[in-house]
Amino acid sequence: MPDVVSLIRTKRDNTRPLTDREIGWLFAAYASGEVADEQMAALLMAVYFNGLNGAELRAWTGEMIASGETLDLTGIGKPTVDKHSTGGVGDKVSLILAPLVASCGAAVPQLSGRGLGHTGGTLDKLESIPGWRASLSNDELKAVLKSTGAVIAAAGSGLAPADRRLYALRDVTGTVESIPLIASSIMSKKIAEGTSALVLDVKTGSGAFMKHEEQAIELARTMVSLGEERGVGTRAIVTRMDTPLGRNVGNALEVQESVAALSGEGPDDLMEVTYALAEHMLALVGIDTDPRAAIASGRALDTYKEMIRAQGGDPDAPLPKAPHEVEALPAPATGWLTKLDALAVGVAAWRLGAGRARKEDEVSQTAGVRCLAKPGDRVQEGQPLLALYADDLARFGPAIEALQAAGVAEVASEPPPPVTLILRQVGG
């Protein structure tokens, strides 16, 4: 019979891989309380330093899936495909993408999360819509999916519960950044949700979790392999996240921009990523149609409204607005804006109240940042580049501090060359 101290030493010293039997025992013993949190935390740190090989990661992810229930979506009547983003600044793509792909004939069961730090959460954004609710029972989730073709909801407590416990430990022990632990966390939930296909948006750059492209590619490859091994058609695209996506950052602000995008008025950068993901999702489930036509015809917007109504929301109700607005970040010179740092803007939005420092913190529905200019725009020296929104005047000072570091905004005498946000495809 394995014992946890021996497993910790084995992984700490990297003497050999852990066996399937040992990993199975570990998760069972952790669930029963035989393995304590501090012991699992020690093992997570050993994994952080020494990684998991392919066989270990398959077993680890499999045990996380097996720790809870799995959804059966076979009765939906349409091919199912989901999307997951590793998170960025202004990344409201899910709000547009789920109804867009559904309006093209697929079913999109999107189980989403909440924001932490400078990256926003899809559920936080949608909760700014009056009446909308994130928590659905499995039967409710399947009913919404069957009737509208798309659902965006919180993952139920029964899906991969081991992941919830491990993530809480990783969050307080400095082991969040481990690629195998990230991959198993994301893929255990996505596989358990029962989708037949999955497209991953792995972001890289200053506003992303993965700052370097090589790391993002490694994470993408790891997740694609896990999905394919479990029979889920999986591919990934690696996308830039150096500049906020779109012009709005913050919960109600991003819903407003998403509705504009579904109405055919989305910013070019936001639509580039959205259409790329939509095309991959549709291709994976064998649907040959142009998602642009669904936007142009109004079908995608109609599906969005149906989805919001099915979850108790009023898609036509006015969105809440912040009582206070301040313009900030004057352009350092006259010329073409060549840089607007996503991380600094994300931290500013977080400090304004749009994000949370801990999972249990409340967020403001109305706080956030609007980009008055984006790279490629002509600006005048002193012109404010951002508008800041908050419920509380005291929030503006800390937010402006985040924008005063050198290099947040840069201006050149010539316009920057066009930049594609799609860097790499992995799998498929």
CB 282, CB 106: distance < 8 Å: yes
Which of 92, 189, 240, 351 is catalytic? The answer is 189
Which of 11, 83, 84, 280 is catalytic? The answer is 84
Token readout for 53 is 């090989």
Rounded distance between C-alpha atoms, residue 391 and residue 352, angstroms: 8
185 labelled catalytic: yes
Question: Counting Cβ atoms within 10 Å, is residue 39 exposed (0-12), middle (13-18) or buried (19+)?
Answer: middle
Place of tokens 């700490």: 12
Which run of H or E residues covers position 201?
strand 197-204
Percentages helix, strand, coil for the chain, rounded to the nearest 5? 45, 20, 35
The closest of 377, 358, 349 to 252, measured between CA atoms, is: 349
Helix axes 299-310, 138-148, angle to 10 degrees: 160
Rounded distance between C-alpha atoms, residue 347 and residue 199, angstroms: 27
CB 35, CB 162: distance < 8 Å: no
Instruction: Kindly report each contact of residues 254-258 with a partner whose C-beta sits within 8 Å and lies 24 or more positions away, as own/partner.
Output: 254/90, 254/92, 254/95, 254/120, 254/125, 254/368, 255/92, 255/95, 255/125, 255/126, 255/128, 255/129, 255/319, 256/319, 257/92, 258/92, 258/95, 258/96, 258/125, 258/304
The closest of 274, 417, 378, 402 to 329, measured between CA atoms, is: 402
Which of 170, 240, 356, 370 is catalytic? The answer is 170
Rounded distance between C-alpha atoms, residue 64 and residue 29, angstroms: 13
CB 258, CB 96: distance < 8 Å: yes
Token readout for 282 is 């549709």
Report how far apart, in Å, the C-alpha atoms of 121 and of each of 8, 229, 350 are. 34, 28, 12
Which of 124, 163, 201, 242 is catalytic? The answer is 163
The closest of 278, 243, 260, 315 to 106, measured between CA atoms, is: 278
Place of tokens 């840069």: 410
Rounded distance between C-alpha atoms, residue 304 and residue 249, angstroms: 20
Q: Which residues are catalytic?
A: 84, 163, 170, 185, 189
